[in-house]
Amino acid sequence: MGQVCLVTHFYKRPIHASILKNSIDMKDEKQSHLVLYRKHRPKDWEEVIGQDHVIGVLRAAMKQGRVAHAYLFSGPRGVGKTTTARLLAKAMNCLNRPAAPCNDCASCVSYSDGSALNLIEIDAASNRGVDDIRELREGVRLAPAIGAHKIYIIDEVHQLSKDAFNALLKTLEEPPAHAIFVLATTELDKVPQTIISRTQAFDFRRPAVADMKKRLVKIAKAEGHELDDVAAHQVALLGEGSMRDAESVLGRVLAVSDGRIALANIEETLGIPKSEIVHTLMEAVAAKDVGRAMGAVENAMDIGYDLGYLSRVLLRRFRAILFLKTDPQLERFIAGEMLPQDIALAKSLMGSFSHTDLEQNIKVLFEAERDAKRSPIPQLPLEMALVEMATREA
C-alpha cells in the first residue's frame, strides 16, 4: 500500500484543473454560457443534489417551527452551501408554504430575481474587519421590511479578523427573534470553536457523480441540447466534486455545440486528449510496441496537445492499474475520476504489467511530466518515457 498512498498524495490536486483554466482563459467565450450555474441555481429543495442529510433536517425544523438562529455550512467549493442558505431564506419567508418555497408569491419572486430585502449576504473575504460586523449588528436589530425573517449569509466566514469574530459572537449570543444567520466556509478548521459551538453545523459533501450527471443532462436539455451519457460522465468528472465547476464546463461545451453532445465534442472543446490516442498509447506500452506508441505521440503533436498534460493522463491510467492490481476494492478510489470505459481498459491491461513495472512506469511518466515544460524538443520527455516503458525487459 505504501506506493499507492505516495501516488495519491502527489496527485491530490487532480489533473484537469490546469488545462481547464488555460482553455477558459485562452478561448473566446460567450459570457452568457459561463454563467450557466447562476441561471440554473436550484429554485427548490428537490433540485439540490447530494445534501439530503442537511436539507432533511432543515425542512423538518421549518415544519416544526424550530429553526435555529445560527447555522454553519462547511464543505468544498461549489457544492451548494450558498444555494441552500438562499433556499432556506426563501422558504422561511414564503407567504404560501411553511417549509418550501412556492416560487410564486411576492416574497419568493423577490428571491428568485435577487431583489429580496430580507436576505443580506456578506462576503467575509472583503468585509473582514470588526467595523463590518458592527455595522451588521446595527442592522440586525431592525425588524424585516417584509416577511417574518431576516437572513444573514456570511460567506467565507473563516476570513473574519479576530475582533470581527468576537463581535459576531456577541450577535450570535443574543440574536433578535427575526434573525437567522448562516455562516458558510470552505475552511472549517479556521473557524473558532466558540463560533462553531453557537451554531448548528452541517457538513456539505461532494455530490455523487451519478447525481451530477443527471442534473447536467437536465440543464443541457433546458438549454436545448442532448448530452449523451458518457459525455455527461466526463463533464461531471471534470467538475472534480464541484457542481459549479461541472456546470461551468458544461457552459463552455454548450457555447460551441448544437444539438447532441458526445464525448468527442467535450474532448475537442476542452482540448482533452482524445480517448483513442490515450487508449492506443496504453495498449502500445502493454504490447511493447514502440512504433505504435511513437505514432500516437506524433498524432498528439499534430493535434497540438500539451504533452505534459498527456503525460499526466497516462500517469493517472497507470495509477489506476496499480490500484486495481493491488486490490480490486480500491476501484472506488478511481471511479470518481475516470470514465467507466477507461476503468474497463485499465482492468483489461492489468495482466500485462507486474507491480514493479507499474511503479517504474509511474516514475518515468512523472519525470516526463516534470520535464515537459523545459524540454527543447517538446515531445522528447514523453517519447523517452514511452521507449523506456515499451522496451523494458520483464
Ligand X SMILES: Nc1ncnc2c1ncn2[C@@H]1O[C@H](COP(=O)(O)OP(=O)(O)OP(=O)(O)O)[C@@H](O)[C@H]1O
Say how many residues touch ligand X, by CB under 6 A: 25
Closest CA to 182 of 200, 209, 206, 162: 200
Please identify, among the stretches 13-21, 40-48, 81-89, 344-352, the one whose residues bind Mg ion according to the rule CB under 5 A.
81-89
From the list 45, 50, 107, 195, which residue makes contact with ligand X (rule: CB under 6 A)? 50
Q: How far is the CB of 36 from ligand X (least distance, A)?
A: 8
Calculate Rg over the CA atoms of the chain: 25
Cβ closest to Mg ion, residue 152 vs residue 318: 152
Q: What are phi and psi of 241, to 5 degrees?
A: 90, -10
Q: How far is the CB of 140 from ligand X (least distance, A)?
A: 22
User: Which among Zn ion, Mg ion, ligand X, none contacts residue 94 (Cβ within 5 to 8 A by kind)?
Assistant: Zn ion
User: In the range 77-116, which residues lie near Zn ion by CB under 5 A?
Assistant: 94, 96, 102, 105, 108
Say how many residues touch Zn ion, by CB under 5 A: 5
- HSE on the CB side for 96, CA within 13 Å? 10
Give yes or no for residue 249 binding ligand X (CB under 6 A). no
Closest CA to 230 of 263, 265, 253, 200: 263
User: Which among ligand X, Zn ion, Mg ion, none contacts residue 105 (Cβ within 5 to 8 A by kind)?
Assistant: Zn ion
Cβ closest to Zn ion, residue 17 vs residue 146: 146
Cβ closest to Mg ion, residue 81 vs residue 150: 81
Instruction: Indicate the burial class of 34 (C-beta count within 10 angstroms; 0-12, 13-18, 19 or more).
Output: middle
From the list 240, 247, 337, 369, which residue makes contact with ligand X (rule: CB under 6 A)? 247
Helices within 142-199 (DSSP H only): 162-173, 193-196
Distance CA 232, CA 328 (A): 25
Q: Which three cell numbers stand for residue 237?
A: 468528472
Which regions of the chain does DSSP assign to beta strands (E)?
70-74, 119-123, 150-155, 179-185, 200-203, 226-227, 260-261
Going by C-beta distance under 8 Å and a sequence separation of 6 or more, which residues neighbour residue 64? none
From the list 15, 19, 20, 51, which residue makes contact with ligand X (rule: CB under 6 A)? 51
Q: How far is the CB of 82 from Mg ion (least distance, A)?
A: 3
Closest CA to 221 of 256, 248, 261, 249: 261
Cβ closest to Mg ion, residue 82 vs residue 275: 82
Q: How far is the CB of 155 from Mg ion (least distance, A)?
A: 5
Please identify, among the stretches 73-81, 96-104, 170-178, 201-209, the one whose residues bind Mg ion according to the rule CB under 5 A.
73-81
Closest CA to 283 of 342, 336, 335: 342
Instruction: Indicate the burial class of 142 (C-beta count within 10 angstroms; 0-12, 13-18, 19 or more).
Output: exposed
Give yes or no for residue 82 binding Mg ion (CB under 5 A). yes
- Site mask, ligand X, residues 131-160, x = CB under 6 A? ------------------------x-----
Distance CA 254, CA 223 (A): 8
Element (H, E) at 305: none
User: Which among ligand X, Zn ion, Mg ion, none contacts residue 41 (Cβ within 5 to 8 A by kind)?
Assistant: ligand X
Please identify, among the stretches 74-82, 212-220, 236-244, 298-306, the one whose residues bind Mg ion according to the rule CB under 5 A.
74-82
The DSSP code sequence of 90-136 is: HHHH-SS-SSS--S-SHHHHHHHTT--SSEEEEETTT--SHHHHHHH
User: Which among Mg ion, Zn ion, ligand X, none contacts residue 51 (Cβ within 5 to 8 A by kind)?
Assistant: ligand X
- HSE on the CB side for 358, CA within 13 Å? 22
- Site mask, ligand X, residues 52-91, x = CB under 6 A? -------------------------xxxxxxx--------
Q: How far is the CB of 87 from Zn ion (least distance, A)?
A: 12
* Interface residue list for Mg ion (CB under 5 A): 81-82
* Interface residue list for ligand X (CB under 6 A): 37-38, 40-42, 47-51, 77-83, 155, 184, 186, 207, 215, 243-244, 247
* Interface residue list for Zn ion (CB under 5 A): 94, 96, 102, 105, 108
